[in-house]
Amino acid sequence: GNSVTQMEGPVTLSEEAFLTINCTYTATGYPSLFWYVQYPGEGLQLLLKATKADDKGSNKGFEATYRKETTSFHLEKGSVQVSDSAVYFCALSPGNQFYFGTGTSLTVIP
């Protein structure tokens, strides 16, 4: 079947620290992989995506690489800001359905 496992939070970092949020997946076929971000009181917004093995998605300083050999799609950012405080969701889609992780809450303190 299809499923996503992401590291549990909450995660608290100081401003300018390095961020890694781990995500691994189980899938049939060759899914697309996503990271979504949710700010308080809002819906999910697409942060980045990768559609095939070894692709790197990037946006707003965040990066994630589609690793088929380790079935992983870890989210990284070199220097976090207070404005990055949010909940981050890893997701996959093999076609018309989407499967989400449980979300990781990130708080960045000045």
Partner 1 sequence: DAGITQSPRHKVTETGTPVTLRCHQTENHRYMYWYRQDPGHGLRLIHYSYGVKDTDKGEVSDGYSVSRSKTEDFLLTLESATSSQTSVYFCAIKGERESTDTQYFGPGTRLTVL
CA distance 92 to 9: 20
44 touching partner 1, by CB under 8 A = yes
How many other β-carbons are positioned within 10 Å of the β-carbon of residue 26? 13
71 touching partner 1, by CB under 8 A = no
- Looking only at the bridges linking them, the beta strands covering 104-109 and 11-14 are parallel
Q: Could you tell me which residues come within 8 angstroms of residue 84 by beta carbon, excluding any fewer than 6 positions away? A: 19, 77, 106, 108
43 touching partner 1, by CB under 8 A = yes
Residue 17 or 44: the one with the smaller Cβ distance to partner 1 is 44
CB of residue 87 to partner 1, shortest distance in Å: 9
CA distance 56 to 91: 15
45 touching partner 1, by CB under 8 A = yes
Q: Candidates 11, 23, 25, 103: give the one binding partner 1 (CB under 8 A).
A: 103
59 touching partner 1, by CB under 8 A = no
Q: Candidates 23, 32, 47, 84: give the one binding partner 1 (CB under 8 A).
A: 32
